[in-house]
Amino acid sequence: MSLKYTRGTFQLMKSINRSSILNMIREKGPISRAEIAKQTSLTPPTVSNIVKELIESKFVIETTQGTSQGGRKPTLLEINADQFYIIGIDVGRYKMNFVVSNLFGDLKDSNVLRIKEHPTKEDILNTMKKGIHTLLEREKNGQKFLGIGVGMHGIVDVEKGISLFAPSFQLYDIPIKLELEKEFDMLIKVENDARTMTLGESWFGHGNNEDHIVGVNVGHGIGAGIMINGRLFHGDSDIAGEIGHVTIDLSGPKCTCGNYGCLQALAGGPAIAARAIKELKTGKYSRILDIVDSDLEIVDGKVVYEAACAGDEFSIELLNQTGRYLGIGLINLIHTLNPERIIIGGGVSRAGDFLMDGIKETLHSRGLTKKAKETPIVLSKLGENASAFGSCVLILEEIFERH
């Protein structure tokens, strides 16, 4: 698909009337032209003209006939979901997750590539390109692909598509959008990974019915995506949601950002492992020692979780304490933003109830009001692919702009 055609396609979708009709077909289809006119208050000729354009662009197809209301049976319309695909990428600390979705967000293909230790900018970009080419080559009709969305950890210049600072790699100014546009003839969008996770949950997960939500990505680092009135909030310089660097303990451990006692330094994946190792070195016993054959250097968050699942009290308490630390960060978010729901994703979220017990304990003890204490906090519905699916939504938003 040529870039000219792709951009023209997105331009076609920008009309409010077209967008309203497209969204209605997506959410309520199969649906008739007459019903669309009735629900949108647009005239039947206007609806017919727009639908004709949408059919010509292959975004909409005519399908089964509906029930007659006395005349001819109406032809129903639905989204041509598999006509176009989107690639979503989640750039983590150790790996990149690639997914291919259709226009309904259904998973059509996926791939995972490891990221080398201490990568350069070129390493990151080359891994992205390799993963994208692999997915494109698997699909015989490459013209199906509309765009590529990228969820990148750290600080992102959304307008320019630049990774300003990727703390896990200690890399600055990675020109993701520019480099991918050179290589691939389609729309490229770049966003922070916590925000893409929140987008994914907003469209296809546990945030689908709320306008004010916060998604918290807890992995190697910790970040939040803030959604207000159904729109992501970026702040003045794209750092809104960096709750991993909110100070929780003035005397706490040093964070990768250089400060002490950040939430990330107490509740991120590496922090869990570091606390476990520190306490085990004092002579405490845990099943962790059996799992790693007493080699403390290979202890990580996954090992702690494995020991907790085996009933290890040391590990269970360690994850509960992690939940309490997270709870402090979340109660600060609740008192500041008062969201309808908080959704927790990322690798550490796999600890499930071990983590949630500590979070709920903190909310109940520190919440300012009864409603604050009862703020729904749930684990991500989309799991490890939440950020990658959310990256697909970066492109879907250009087509299905929800009002």
Q: What is the spatial distance between Cα 152 and Cα 92, in angstroms, rounded to a whole number?
A: 7
For the entire predicted model, the pTM comes to: 0.87
Q: For residue 210, which phi and psi values (nearest 5 degrees)? A: -120, 150
Instruction: Read off the pLDDT of residues 49-71 as tens digits, 9 standing for 90 and up.
Output: 999 999 998 899 998 775 655 55
Q: What is the spatial distance between Cα 158 and Cα 130, in angstroms, rounded to a whole number?
A: 23
279: three-class secondary structure by DSSP: helix
| pLDDT tens for the chain, residues 1 to 403 | 434 445 555 555 557 788 888 888 988 889 999 899 998 888 889 899 999 999 998 899 998 775 655 556 778 999 999 989 999 999 988 899 999 999 998 999 999 999 998 999 999 999 999 999 999 988 766 568 999 999 999 899 999 999 999 988 999 999 999 999 999 988 999 999 999 999 999 999 888 778 899 999 998 889 999 999 989 999 988 889 999 999 999 999 999 888 999 999 999 999 999 999 999 999 888 999 989 888 888 898 889 999 999 999 999 999 999 999 999 999 999 999 999 999 999 888 888 899 999 999 999 999 999 999 999 999 999 988 899 999 999 999 888 865 4
**Paired sense of beta strands 85-91 and 95-101, if any:** antiparallel
- The single-letter DSSP state of residue 381 is S
pLDDT at position 13 is: 53
- Full DSSP string of 14-82: TSHHHHHHHHHHHHH-SEEHHHHHHHHT--HHHHHHHHHHHHHTTSEEEEEE---SSSSPPEEEEE-TT
All structural domains of the chain, each given as residue ranges with its CATH number in brackets, are 3-79 (1.10.10.10), 85-203+386-399 (3.30.420.40), 208-380 (3.30.420.40)
